[in-house]
Amino acid sequence: SVETLGSASVICTDKTGTLTRSEMTIERVLMPSGSSRFEGVGYEPRGQVVHGGEMDTRDLHAELVRLIGAGSLAGNAQLYQESDGSWVVQGDPTEAAFLVAERKLGTQDERQRRFERLAEIPFSSERKMMSVIVRDQDAGNRRLLVSKGAPDVLLERCSYARVGADVVPMSPAIRARALADVASLSDAALRTLAVAYRELAADEDRDDAPALERDLIFLGTVGIIDPPRPEAAQAIDAARQAGIRVIMITGDHPRTAQRIAADLGIIEAGGAVLTGPELDRLDAAALSAAVDKTSVYARVAPVHKLRIVDALQARGHVVAMTGDGVNDAPALKSADIGVAMGVTGTEVTKEAGKMILADDNFATIVAAVREGRGILDNIRKFLRYLLSSNMGEVMTVFFGVLLAPLLGLSSGGALVMPLLATQILWINLITDSGPALAMGVDPHDEGVMQSPPRRPDERVIDGRMWRGVLETGLVMAVATLLALDMMLPGGLIEGDASMDVARTAAFTVLVLAQLFNAFATRSETRSVLSHLLDNGWMWMAVVVGVVLQVLVVEWSWLGRAFGTVPLTAGQWMWCVLLASSVLWWTELRKWALRRRDARVVSATVVA
């Protein structure tokens, strides 16, 4: 999952709570007879109510109380105050926005006393509305149907409108004004909900609930502010620099989605938005073409998410998809990496996803992409280090045996091994443990989010890494065998030391070369001097390795166990110098790779 997330080329994300703070607050209310504005944000019910630019208009205030009370009835959220004075919401934040507004009006107790809930027609992504049946105990126990939902959906079911104290037919002028109000609220990046009601006749059966949602009396539309998370725009920009395309999929009004997406930098102002009904009219070929150029989808149902994911994957993208509802599970399953919401997500969604987003924050997804890329990068460092170091040991023994007569390793026709078995085990103990583990916690390269996503067919160990492994292993073997040859008599370079001294020097060169190699393999192209002091664990592992190597050479008790003898200061100097050849070689190779990569980028830009 981490590797897949690090390779994601598209992130499909919901808007509410992921790109925004999910602190729904009713800011504006537009009614057939006027408008009102609530001050204050968040769940604390504090803030004045302004009517049409004046502090109080009695008739308009009564109409506002009726609308907000109806919206509070048609919901299941709860708002309460903790012992520390903070206000907490349980349930849908959108429904809680009505409760907060109602407390600002100070009418919540009257509404709870007066109305008794009898039945509910629940919200669904297909209906885009919900209704409740209540009994008005102050009006002879008459039954009322109260509905709230998407304005375009609810207005289709409204035959009347409440204008002040009168109920009038829904004329074309009133309907046009209501739709214009929705557009103005959406253009201001406000989420819109309409509220309506009607009185039920005595013979209307509440069990036939969906059929009751007709001939409603329109009360007005609320504009709910859900400010973008301050870190969301930065995260989207970071994703774009990493070659990742961000797609916003929401059930909100298209204009609201368009405005929020433009504010966050997902699209330019006035960019294209596809809606659910428009998606339904597209065949597979048309949808495949649309997903390449459309980054905002509005008024969508969960089934549309699945179609979008499938179309993106068919275009070769690695898709990460977020979701929270039960109906989002198929899309999460189908996506390459399904990200379930940890706060608002259902258990079904969490089971369907491969990853759970603990804070429901889009910026955390991008941080996880960075972490995924960094982890994969560290795995590649780990493999590059271990393979090249072990290749050095293999080549040392192989070429030591193959070139034994030239190096002076044959004595009286008998072959003398360049290294003892216990020495090879010691090398693996020192170099394959501490430095290799420290590689796994190496700080992530600052350029990890500046490169395009890894292709799905790209190997972890590619051809360039194999060439680097073989070249580095060969340099280690040459340096180790050169130490042998310099000290042994009868080789290419005439020496006068004993076999024990020469083997100890070769043994030390190979250990030190691998410790130098730990720094060299931290990056395939970046100089070893860059961020040299960032990884304290690496320095600790290398220092411990050097101390242990000095002990095994200079301490006679360990020397007897590992076949070593003490070295002179001059011999130690030669060992360090020869071992450092790994650094010089890798620095030269990195310089050549950087120049080649720069030429490739330059050629691509010109093309």
Q: Could you tell me how many residues make up the chain?
A: 607
- What is the pairing mode between strands 49-51 and 410-411? unpaired
Pick the CATH number of 25-225 from 3.30.590.20, 3.40.1110.10, 3.30.1860.10, 3.40.50.300: 3.40.1110.10
pLDDT of residue 463: 87
**Average pLDDT of the segment spanning 128-135:** 92
pLDDT in tens, 476-509: 999 999 998 888 887 678 777 888 999 999 999 9
Q: Are 534 and 597 in contact (CB under 8 A)?
A: no
Pick the CATH number of 372-606 from 3.40.720.10, 3.40.50.620, 1.10.357.10, 1.20.1110.10: 1.20.1110.10
**Percent above pLDDT 70 for the chain:** 96
Look at the pTM and tell me if it is higher than 0.95. no
**Average pLDDT of the segment spanning 263-274:** 87
Token pair recorded at residue 552: 């095994």
Q: Coil, strand or helix: which one is 459?
A: coil
Unique residue bearing structure tokens 């007897």: 560
Token pair recorded at residue 143: 């039954």
CATH code for 2-17+229-360? Answer: 3.40.50.1000
426 falls in which pLDDT band (50, 70, 90)? very high
525 falls in which pLDDT band (50, 70, 90)? confident
Token pair recorded at residue 547: 């101390």
Sheet holding 245-249, edge to edge: 274-275, 296-298, 245-249, 10-13, 319-323, 337-341, 355-357
CA distance 171 to 92: 33
Residues 504-507: contacts with CB under 8 Å, at least 24 apart: 504/553, 504/563, 504/564, 504/565, 504/567, 505/567, 505/571, 505/574, 505/575, 506/396, 506/418, 506/419, 506/480, 506/481, 507/419, 507/423, 507/426, 507/427, 507/553, 507/562, 507/564
Annotated catalytic residues are 14
Domain ranges of the chain: 2-17+229-360, 25-225, 372-606
CA distance 169 to 182: 20
Give strand pairing partners of 88. Answer: 80
55 falls in which pLDDT band (50, 70, 90)? very low
Give strand pairing partners of 198. Answer: 145
Residue 133, pLDDT above cutoff 60: yes
pLDDT in tens, 535-556: 899 999 999 999 999 999 999 8
pLDDT in tens, 275-311: 999 999 999 899 999 998 999 999 888 889 999 999 9
Q: pLDDT higher for 604 or 338?
A: 338
pLDDT in tens, 571-592: 999 999 999 999 999 999 989 9
CA distances from 527 to 520, 521, 524, 538 (A): 8, 10, 9, 16
Token pair recorded at residue 508: 């030390």
Phi, psi of 237 (to 5 degrees): -65, -40
pLDDT in tens, 65-81: 999 999 999 999 999 88
**Dihedral (C-alpha) 467, 470, 475, 477: value to the nearest 10 degrees?**
180
Q: Are 329 and 309 in contact (CB under 8 A)?
A: no
